[in-house]
Chain A
Amino acid sequence: MILSRLSVQSFRNLAATTVEFGTGFNIFCGDNAQGKTNILESIYLLGTLKSFRMAKNPELIGWEKQFSLIKGLISDDGLNREVDLLLDQAGKKVRVDQKTVVRVADFFGILTVVLFSPEELTMVRGAPESRRRYLDRAIFAGDVIYLTRHHEYMRILKQRNALLRSGDTSSLEPWNEQLAVAGAQLVTSRVGYIGNIDKLLKETFREITDTNDEVAISYHSGSLAYSEDLNDNIDRLAAALNKRREPELLQRTTLTGPHRDDIVFTINGKPLRHSSSQGQQRCFVLALKMAEIELLRRCRSVSPVLLLDDMTSELDSRRIANLLKFLTDRRMQVFVTTTGTNDFELFEDNNLRLFHVEQGTVRPANKA
């Protein structure tokens, strides 16, 4: 899919504008704090309704403005669709082809975005929650039911925790049963997804780094060993809940389940967070994103749009060259922010559009 046109109005510091994009690389250059990342953020919002900076609406809406409007024209296989996103103090409203969208399923999938930004290194070094959030979003990009399941699980979890807090646990059993089923559904999707992405990650990591380092991603759930079979996982989770009843009653919260699980990244068999350089960690996350793209392309026949925030500060020139080749081979549409344009000389591609961003104004520039 291609985002061929973007209009923004009163979004962060951006001046009202309409920009036409190319089908290949679209590069936004300019000094720091000019608004380059805001453009990527607006595109990310169009695809996911979320800000990758975890920003709430008031921060997204321009200074002293009532609302902001983001419009995108997306073409996929000859089909053009228009997505309008209105942000106001009350929330977000989406229209697709001038029609208000009621169900999320009617919206998701029109523009699929994959993001790589410096902040995502927190995925390697940060708390398990950031990895779970990444995994959930990645699965959801290809599986709409997953979101419904996730909501259901969280609802059961909240009810069960409330019950544990109340101290009266005589009616715990029905909540255990429901938690085991809903939790096992999440876990089964996650284990399946990780299994697929792990194979692709090994390929993309090699393609980008030209090294023989062995990378892996795996799903961890304490002492629980999940399989890819749903009924099997229901039994395991149910047994684990029974086993941990005593500590749960003591701590008054649910101690087992997908909300406590983690994803482990390893390089040459060692945990990535301890045993590798920052550069290697960046390459790992980048390769993971490329694997995500490959999975969407192969399993879902979806060709997502890639957002690369501040890429040049992330990688050395050989790896940038490998990355660019990877993306050109797959004819991906890519949006890149950078402070310099030097790295793109590496790469004599006609399918390159350059934009200057200065104090919130975006204007097309001639190729440098």
Chain B
Amino acid sequence: MLQFSASFGRLLLELKKLPGVGEKTALRLAFHLLKSPGNIEALANSLISVAKNVHLCSVCFGITEDDPCVICSGGRDDSVICVVEESQDMLAIERSHAFRGKYHVLQGALSPLSGITPSQLRIAELLERLRHSQTREVILATNFSVEGEATALYLAKILKDLGLKVTRLAHGIPLGSDIEYVDAATVQRAVEGRSEF
């Protein structure tokens, strides 16, 4: 494509860096944009504006335009902090309106295979934060993967030593689903972790 237009070729290469976008999708997106110059400008502007204005909150490390973010500066419950891996996990919990406390985004999970150790996560910042706050409970809401579980176990040990109440999100059968369609391993965990009615 570079032989037709150098800038078009560069656009393709940039698009292909995005997750889930390959050669074909990149071409489709690029041609679509070419056909509507108005959209190109709007997209370009929003990209530049995101790059300029959006950064991580210095308190919770979620994405924000103001520092500290609306959640950290607003009148949320100070006594509970929910620890998640990524900003999108925080969005998911916010969407549920189930939680009125504050968050802490680790920016990843422990994974020796990818070279991610505790020092690369925002764990030191979390401990520093806890030292200066009224927090009594920490909810560990890392993913239920091998890596998320390791991160939760690691944090639980440290946090319990600080005398905090440490909880973990419940896991099991998805709401509104039929038990018959849930995979066997999940059903087994749900049976093991059943609660009294």
Give the B-binding residues of A (Cβ under 8 A).
Answer: 103, 105, 144-145, 148-149, 152, 155-156, 158-160, 162-163, 165-166, 168, 170-171, 173-175, 177-178
Most buried by B among A152, A168, A175: A175
For B117, what are the chain A residues with a Cβ–Cβ distance below 8 Å? 166, 168, 170-171
Complex contact B185–A162 (CB within 8 A): no
Contact among A105, A158, A168, A177 with B184 in the assembled complex (CB-CB below 8 Å): A105
B→A interface (CB under 8 Å): 110-113, 115, 117-118, 146-147, 149-154, 157, 183-185, 188
Contact call A171/B154, Cβ cutoff below 8 A: yes
Contact B115 A145 (CB under 8 A): no
Inter-chain CA distance A103–B118, complex, in Å, is 35
Q: Pick the contact of B150: A105, A165, A166, A175 (CB < 8 A).
A: A175
C-alpha spacing A94/B188, complex, angstroms: 26
17 further A-B contacts with Cβ under 8 Å, apart from A159-B111, A174-B110, A174-B151, are A105-B184, A149-B185, A155-B146, A156-B150, A159-B113, A159-B147, A162-B112, A168-B117, A170-B118, A171-B117, A173-B153, A173-B157, A174-B150, A174-B153, A175-B112, A177-B153, A178-B150
- What is the bound-complex CA distance between A109 and B63, given in angstroms? 48
Does B112 contact A159, Cβ atoms closer than 8 Å?
A: yes
Q: Name the residue on A nearest B154 (C-beta).
A: A174
User: Chain A residue with minimal CB distance to B114?
Assistant: A162
Chain A residues whose C-beta falls within 8 Å of the C-beta of B149 in the assembled complex: 174, 178
Closest to B146 in A: A155
Q: What 6 A-B pairs come out closest when comparing CB atoms? A: A174-B153, A162-B112, A163-B112, A174-B150, A174-B154, A148-B185
| B113 with A145: CB separation less than 8 A | no
6 contacts between A and B (CB under 8 A): A145-B184, A156-B150, A166-B112, A171-B118, A173-B153, A177-B153
Cβ of A104 to closest chain B Cβ, rounded Å: 10
Shortest distance in angstroms between B93's beta carbon and chain A's nearest beta carbon?
23
CA distance A163 to B113 in the complex (A): 7
Contact of B146 among A103, A152, A163, A173 (CB under 8 A): A152
Q: How far is the CB of A361 from chain B (nearest CB, A)?
A: 43
Asked if residues B118 and A162 are in contact (CB atoms below 8 Å), the reply is: no
In the complex, chain A residues whose CB is within 8 Å of the CB of B151: 174
CA distance A207 to B146 in the complex (A): 46
Q: A103–B188 Cα gap in the complex (Å)?
A: 17
Cβ A178 vs Cβ B146 within 8 A: yes
Docked Cα-Cα span, A149 to B183, in Å, equals 13
Contacts of A145 in B (CB 8 A): 184-185, 188
CB distance from B134 to the nearest CB of A (A): 27
Contacts of A178 in B (CB 8 A): 146, 149-150, 153
Could you tell me the distance in whole angstroms from the C-beta of A170 to the nearest C-beta in chain B? 7
A149 to B189 Cα, complex, angstroms: 12
Q: Which residue of B lies closest to A174 (CB)?
A: B153
A105/B146 contact (C-beta < 8 A), A171-B117, A171-B118 known: no
Shortest Cβ distance from A327 into chain B, in angstroms? 32
Which residues of the partner chain B approach A105 to less than 8 Å between Cβ atoms? 183-184
Complex Cα distance, B185 from A163, in Å, reads 27
